[in-house]
A and B are shown apart, each in its own frame.
Chain A
């Protein structure tokens, strides 16, 4: 048991670091610093994605045959740590991390051949179509209906909380194709072209002042049967597979450490009277506590990774623990950062995206975005299976 990198992994890290030094420019970094949302502003994200695509590094988690890197888990972990340390825009959302694994696992050759390359080069951007106004944590109660008519499904209903759907070209969606006694059985997984007639997108502004979420309405939208993934009625199994990716398929150690480092910088900046927040023992106690949480979570990620690398499974209790703790740690960091702004906490800049505003000093900009980042962080414990759902999963394992 050890925490040592191999010589090859050190070389790999240095290679990643060198690439980031050269290609991740200040404009991209600033835009990400000023991003109050979970995912990067699409314009910024696509720009960075294009640079990574030239290098073949868009999709660290994909197998090589589909244009991924084919990296080991350890290399993916190191890559993530380095990208977060450098402050890369978080562009890997529903396209790369959610629909792609589903297409690889359940899609046919035509679907793989058409959709996967378009994800890598940014031609397609995907939105998620899971939740509905009446179906959140109880996802299987969904009502959006798809009726087969010749070689098309006719879709009617509505999906909600679709992140960045207004910038997306396509949506993957769970729809009801049969009224079955067991509600999980009548669900089918389909791909919807968002330019189709009958699609209407309504923006939902979130509490951080940003338009990232949407409600999407389907009014007799035609979806070719060739855009169904898997068999009719197989949607629930596919959805579960996808949610596992959303829950456990990524590392958070890097981003949490990077956030903590940003907070450290903010707290180290002298105030107008010369004091530094970091010298306040009350601040430092809380800061240090959160840092111990980050270390503990990082160890759990590395331990889970070790298990997978050895052919095992991290298990549901550690996986749900990480989901819960990542959200809480992120929220704690944002909350602490927002608590040291003083009167600046009261100022509110409405313009989005913030990076379009003329530049000021890095610290001023950190102070400008901190409230919105804090507000946005409240979503962390809700999406991807709320913390209460995670507690249910843990309790079920504990008490069985």
Chain B
């Protein structure tokens, strides 16, 4: 058991924070949001140069072999800087899934471009009725000769506007072998495929997503990602890794809110003294700090559980999303309150952090969804009473 960051990890953290501080301030972000594309290609290229896009992928797939801890450090920095480029959507979620279920050719193709910064995949999985049940998928893929024909609707695809390919889930059907209720499979579909309609959606945190409609989109058999894998299981695992990353992003935002609130109340003088000199406000900030600490503990558990066996994974990841959802909301509300009217304006980042935390609370499951999922797991007394330390994994010799 060791929960200390290594020197390399501390360097990564420092370099990530410095890069975004220098290159991605609040005004810069506002310009990106107001631009036509809502995406800064130069920043993305620099992220590629810094190795961020290669970070989570294994070395044999051209990556840097970073783990959940390294990813969490990037996500914390992304949270503080309110980065709108699709690191989570393209690199962690879509890229992460391709690494698990893609063939060698698919990985070379999709991950190669992603790591180089020249192309971006996005995952088109959840549908309107999917909710928190990731297996509730209605899109279909029908075998037609050597091709698959995909039809269905995929709303709110994160990273969609900036993607040149979509990793699309659909049920195999229309084939005697698989039947109409066939298994969920993933397909790589170019963004410019014939029959794919794409419309841009503005999101509550200022970022953008895509509503996708697939109408008889035909792809070759080589677009099928996972002939043998437990696709739904891999999709669930990918969402859990993304949820662990979201937990870290939220922790980065909470710390930023805390820092900003302390700085503001120290500088703002009312009734002849700084706001920070009033004990009533000091204790509210101390309560915010308590919540920031707790959230950090939860996020740590989420990241160290992201690759654990399912029950441990759900306990760590959904537990963190439930806990952090609750405490981050409170910290954000308090930050606005303690900033007074300034916190209510769009001129300060406070409101943007508040809205991003709200978006996180409603991404890949709500706070309530995660609490329910966590509750179902800990109903098992063996899980509930089990501590957090695990036995070492025995590698076969």
Contacts and interface: CB of A to CB of B under 8 A. Distances in A.
Are A and B bound to each other? yes
Interface of A: 1-7, 9-10, 74, 77-78, 81, 85, 253-254, 257-258, 260-261, 264-265, 278, 284-285, 287-289, 291-293, 295-300, 302-303, 305-307, 309-310, 312, 317-318, 320-321, 324-325, 388, 390-392, 394-395, 398-399
B304 A7 contact: no
B294 A306 contact: no
Contacts of B6: 1
A284 B375 contact: yes
A83 to B, nearest CB: 12
B153 to A, nearest CB: 31
Contacts of B294: 293, 296-297, 300, 321, 325
Interface string B238-274: 0000000000000000000010001000100000000
Which 3 interchain pairs have the tightest Cβ spacing? A299-B297, A288-B375, A292-B323
19 contacts: A1-B3, A1-B4, A3-B388, A5-B1, A5-B390, A10-B392, A74-B1, A260-B385, A264-B379, A264-B381, A265-B381, A298-B297, A300-B297, A305-B1, A309-B2, A310-B4, A388-B283, A395-B285, A399-B282
B388 A299 contact: yes
B152 interface: no
A399 B293 contact: no
Contact of A324 (B276, B290, B315): B290
B4 A307 contact: yes
A115 to B, nearest CB: 34
Interface size of B as a range: 35 or more
Interface in B296-318: 296-298, 300-301, 304, 315-316
A300 B293 contact: yes
Interface in B359-391: 371-372, 374-375, 378-379, 381, 384-385, 387-391
B319 interface: yes
B262 A2 contact: no
Contacts of A302: 1, 3, 388-389
Nearest to A73: B1
B132 interface: no
B290 A321 contact: yes
Nearest to A307: B4
B298 A78 contact: no
Majority secondary structure of chain A interface residues (helix, strand, loop or mixed) = helix
B199 to A, nearest CB: 37
B301 A296 contact: yes
B295 interface: yes
Contacts of B388: 3, 253, 295, 298-299, 302
